Amino acid sequence: MIWAALSCLNQFINSIVWHNNAINWAPIWCDISIRIMLGAPVGIPAASLCINRRLYNIAKTHAVAFTDEAKRRAILIDTLICVLFPMIVVALPFFLSDSWPIIIGLVSSVYCGTPLLGGLLLFTFAVHNSPVFLKSNKSLSASRYFRLMALAMTEILCTIPLASFIIWLNSAVHPVEPWISWENVHCDFSRVMQYPSVLWTTNYLLVVAIQLTRWLIVFCAFTFFAFFGFAAEARKNYSIAFCKAATAYELE
């Protein structure tokens, strides 16, 4: 959720700053923005991996109660997967970047999966055994359990086809080039390449790649909200927030 929110905020700011222009208004923000764009396509699938790990632990036949130490270990592992691993991915492209982030006027990808039959079998297994899972996990309600399963199913159905297409698209738009040396890659690193829309919109594949980069994150955010934004606990939090806001407004 945090990675999706950061990415949506990043895209929103970029769409305002570089609307109908390709001027280098904010060099520092360009560097921050590209780091978010590099980390989100890894952070979001990493978060999904953590959700699937938890579902696996719940669905294990011999479910046992978690000790405090086991819970701390699980939180540490999830943190390493969702935070540390994306940060490593964010840092590594510096060794391959030959220039400052590109400014594109009018302004990567996510997910993986298995065949539909396997997904249906998994869902059938989960439904059949849900009473056992819920009995061994007192903090997990049936509604939350099935929402998590539905989210996992959505990931299964959307991931590998989309990720495969993105890999092909990136290789078609930007062919892979050999890494020669540090000096060769960073010989003109301070330059800022600027591409107004009149240039990049002439390349159909580039248009598809850029628009997917912008809108897949929004799709992820709406998908997550669709699964969890209308849940009973979420509606309860909305009511609390609304009451507090209304009370504060009356006091003013």
Q: What is the pLDDT of residue 117?
A: 36
More confident residue, 80 or 185: 80
Q: Left if phi > 0, otherwise alpha if psi is -120 to 50, otherwise beta: which for 195? A: beta
Distance of CA 245 to the CA centre of its chain: 30
Which residue, among 76, 2, 62, has the nearest Cα to 36 in the 3D structure?
2
Sign of torsion over alpha carbons 152, 156, 160, 161: negative
Provide, rounded to the nearest whole percent, the portion of the chain with pLDDT above 90.
0
Which residue, among 195, 207, 116, 206, has the nearest Cα to 153 in the 3D structure?
116
Domain containing residue 63: 2-251
Q: What is the pLDDT of residue 129?
A: 45
**What is the average pLDDT score of the chain?**
72
The model's pLDDT over 134-151, given as tens digits with 9 standing for 90+, comes to: 444 555 566 666 777 777
**CA 53 to CA 220: how far, in whole Å?**
19
- pTM of the predicted protein model: 0.65
Q: What is the pLDDT of residue 163?
A: 78
Are the C-beta atoms of 213 and 166 separated by less than 8 Å?
no
pLDDT reading at 107 higher than 60: no
**Number of domain units in the chain:** 1
Q: Over range 75-88, report the average pLDDT.
A: 88
Q: Over range 185-206, report the average pLDDT.
A: 74
The model's pLDDT over 18-52, given as tens digits with 9 standing for 90+, comes to: 777 777 777 788 878 888 888 888 888 888 888 87
